[in-house]
A and B are shown apart, each in its own frame.
Chain A
Amino acid sequence: MTGAEPIADEEVDRIRAQIERDAQAGGYHLHPDPSFTAGLVRGLIENERRYGYRSCPCRLATGTKEADLDIICPCDYRDADLVEYGACYCALYVSADVKAGRATVGSIPERRPRRAERERRAAMAPAGSLPGGPLPFPVWRCTVCGYLCARAEPPLQCPICRVGQERFVRFI
Chain B
Amino acid sequence: MQFEHVHGTDRGVVRLYALSTCGWCAKTRQLLTDLGVAFDYVYVDLVGPGEQKEVIEAVEQVNPSLSFPTVVIGDRVIVGFREKEIREALA
A106/B81 contact (C-beta < 8 A), A58-B68, A60-B44, A60-B45 known:
yes
A36/B46 contact (C-beta < 8 A), A60-B68, A114-B65 known:
no
Q: CA separation between A60 and B56, bound complex, in Å?
A: 10
A39/B65 contact (C-beta < 8 A), A60-B44, A61-B45, A107-B80 known:
no
One digit per residue, 1 when the CB lies within 8 angstroms of any chain B CB and 0 when it does not, for chain A 29-64 equals: 000000010011011101100100000011111000
Of all chain A residues, which has the CB nearest B44?
A60
Q: Judging by beta carbons under 8 Å apart, are B46 and A1 in contact?
A: yes
Of all chain A residues, which has the CB nearest B55?
A60
Q: CA separation between A57 and B25, bound complex, in Å?
A: 10
Specify which chain A residues have a CB less than 8 angstroms from the CB of B7 in the assembled complex: none
Specify which chain B residues have a CB less than 8 angstroms from the CB of A110 in the assembled complex: 65, 67
Q: Judging by beta carbons under 8 Å apart, are A39 and B26 in contact?
A: yes
Specify which chain A residues have a CB less than 8 angstroms from the CB of B67 in the assembled complex: 59, 110
One digit per residue, 1 when the CB lies within 8 angstroms of any chain A CB and 0 when it does not, for chain B 35-62 equals: 0000000001110000000001000000
Tell me the smallest distance from the CB of A38 to a CB of chain B, in Å.
Answer: 10
Q: Judging by beta carbons under 8 Å apart, are A58 and B21 in contact?
A: yes
Number of A-B contacts (CB under 8 A): 59
Q: Is A25 an interface residue (CB 8 A)?
A: no
**Quick one: which of A36, A40, A42, A108 contacts B80, CB cutoff 8 A?**
A108
Q: CA separation between A114 and B68, bound complex, in Å?
A: 14
**Quick one: which of A47, A59, A61, A90 contacts B23, CB cutoff 8 A?**
A90
Specify which chain B residues have a CB less than 8 angstroms from the CB of A43 in the assembled complex: 19-23
**Quick one: which of B19, B23, B25 contacts A91, CB cutoff 8 A?**
B23
Q: CA separation between A107 and B86, bound complex, in Å?
A: 13
Residues of B within 8 A of A (CB): 19-26, 44-46, 56, 64-68, 80-82
Give me 20 A-to-B residue pairs in the complex whose CB atoms sit less than 8 angstroms apart, sorted by A's number. A1-B20, A2-B46, A40-B23, A44-B21, A46-B20, A57-B23, A58-B23, A58-B24, A59-B68, A60-B56, A60-B68, A90-B23, A90-B24, A91-B24, A106-B80, A106-B82, A107-B82, A108-B80, A114-B64, A114-B65
Residues of A within 8 A of B (CB): 1-2, 36, 39-40, 42-44, 46-47, 50, 57-61, 90-91, 106-110, 114
